[in-house]
Amino acid sequence: MAKIPAVYQGAASNLFAAITPTATVAPMATYSLATFPYLRPDWRVKWAVKTVTLTWSGVSAAINGEIFVLTVSNLDAGASVATITNADGLSQAITIPAVPLDGIPLTVIVDLSGFTNAQKTSTTWNLVISGNSVNVTLGAAIALYGPKTTFLNNMSGSNFAWDYHEKEHHGQEEKKNVYLSRFILDALTRERSIEFLMRANDAGKAALTAWHRSSHGGALGSLFWPDPNVSDGLFGTLGDLDVQNVCQGYRPINMTFTELSKGIPLL
């Protein structure tokens, strides 16, 4: 049984959805800020500078922004080059984790739930990037979710108990000739997925159903952060919702969450 209260956020709770940010410096020719509302980690927005600030205005002030997500970037790992701020006093440095050996960055997640309600509630949010070692490149999927929702982790008085296993697949194409020699084309892409079994009560079933419906099933991107102790989550899509109604108050639920591809490594 998992002992960590995983974070899950439906597409409907993304405060940045459908908002095109502005920037202090325009992207390079052929790249557009209007790409961001598509929420595609495999698409890119590139700049010819190492310092830039993105601003999302018109965010609903009725919902607190608590989970910030940067799916992919070429920002310097371990350096203080990025900060999330808003117009109401919130400022949080973003720690960029080391890039894995396959060259594809992890999904950076920042938990802002510890700030006051006044600080977390704002109509204007900024991603401030300063002094990156190379010209800035961002994947076209940046999100801010609120309020934070989690899986509770015991059967007594909570919504969920859960087990899961992880899968990882790297894009490749293999050809084998008549001599059985294999030739493998490495697409330099990675796809991760989490397959989990929930043992939910009625409230848990309702919460998972809301997550699934708010993301239009697998049509819209949402967030699953299995271990909030690690700044690495999955921005992706849900599979079918499979609920077994065993008895009153006990609802085993099977579901798979699959990360959207981030495309080839950032160069």
Decide the pairing of beta strands 222-225 and 234-238. antiparallel
Residue 247 has pLDDT above 60, yes or no: yes
> What tokens does 230 get?
């690690």
Residue 128, strand partner residues: 53, 83
Question: How does pLDDT run across 66-76, given as a tens digit for each residue?
Answer: 999 999 999 99
> What tokens does 166 get?
């992880």
- Name the DSSP letter for residue 147: S
Domains of the chain (ranges; CATH) run: 10-145 (2.60.120.260), 162-259 (no CATH)
Residue 235 has pLDDT above 80, yes or no: yes
Who contacts 112 (Cβ-Cβ below 8 Å, separation ≥6)? 65, 66, 67, 68, 84, 90, 92, 120
Q: What is the pLDDT of residue 152?
A: 66
The continuous run of DSSP H or E covering 214 comes out as helix 202-214
Using 50, 70 and 90 to split pLDDT, how confident is the model at 201? confident
Work out the burial of residue 265: count CB atoms within 10 Å of its CB; fewer than 13 is exposed, 13-18 middle, 19 or more buried. Answer: middle
**Within 10 Å of residue 159's Cβ, how many Cβ atoms?**
19
Q: What is the pLDDT of residue 155?
A: 40
Question: How does pLDDT run across 81-120, given as a tens digit for each residue?
Answer: 999 999 999 999 999 999 999 889 999 999 999 999 999 9
- For residues 235 and 259, is the Cβ–Cβ distance under 8 A? yes
Tell which residue, 254, 251, 250, 252, has the closest CA to residue 241. Answer: 254
For the ranges 58-72, 85-99, 249-263, the lowest mean pLDDT is seen at 249-263
Residue 23 has pLDDT above 90, yes or no: yes
**Stated pTM of the model:** 0.90
